[in-house]
Amino acid sequence: MAKTIAKKRAPKTGLVPLEVIERRIVLIRGHKVMLSTHLAELYEVEPRVLVQAVKRNIDRFPDDFMFQLTAAEFENLKSQTVISSWGGLRRASPYAFSEQGVAMLSSVLKSPRAVQVNIAIMRAFVRLRQLLATHRDLAEKLAKMEKQYDKQFKIVFEFIRQLMEPPPKLKKSQMGFAPGLRKN
């Protein structure tokens, strides 16, 4: 007797890896925000459903919690992404939610998944703040050490500063296969 083993689907815990969330946090108008399209994807709802819920409770979302991107901001953001995940034509630009706006979403979207996703998003924002604070602390410590030690360590300090810089963005012409570089 051969038994067939049915494939079990992993239960939906509502938890999203922090790395996935961190990649969705963008800087717009000097604020770290998440877009309504990305939030809807994480909450597993249609973007229009998320926006409708927000509009029904608009008094919970002041300008520092949520704002709509201008057409220029939206075009600029789309041009920065390598692979477009915007779902085709849109009549309206997405909304941007600050950390406080995302926290408020859990009271508007009253599903267990929304609560769990919000917890994960809050953890991602906290982690991002901690990383930025650590980087700032490291830069301050390096500046103090640089003042303390003489010129012979100048090269070492310059090298450490270079390591702290984010990697340079490559131009499209610098990425991919370059013909003629292959040795025979």
Say yes or no to pLDDT of 162 above 80. Answer: no
Continuous H helices in the chain: 18-24, 36-43, 47-56, 71-80, 99-108, 112-148, 154-164
The pLDDT tens digits of the residues spanning 61-103 come to 999 999 999 988 888 877 776 444 555 555 678 999 998 898 8
Q: Is the pTM of this model over 0.85?
A: no
- Enclosing H/E stretch for 66: strand 66-68
The pLDDT tens digits of the residues spanning 114-138 come to 878 888 888 888 888 787 777 777 7
Per-residue pLDDT at 7? 37
- The torsion of the CA quartet 38, 40, 46, 51, rounded to 10 degrees, works out to -100
Q: How confident is the model over 10-38, as a mean pLDDT?
A: 77
Per-residue pLDDT at 52? 92
Would you give the DSSP letter of residue 76? H
Residues facing 28 on adjacent strands: 31
Cβ-proximal residues to 111 (8 Å cutoff; 6+ apart), any chain: 43
Q: Domains of the chain (ranges plus CATH)? A: 18-134 (3.10.260)
Nearest to 47 by CA among 125, 4, 105, 104: 105
- Enclosing H/E stretch for 27: strand 26-28
Per-residue pLDDT at 171? 58
3-state secondary structure string across 92-138: CCCEEECHHHHHHHHHHCCCHHHHHHHHHHHHHHHHHHHHHHHHHHH
At 14, the pLDDT band (50, 70, 90 cuts) reads: very low
At 5, the pLDDT band (50, 70, 90 cuts) reads: very low
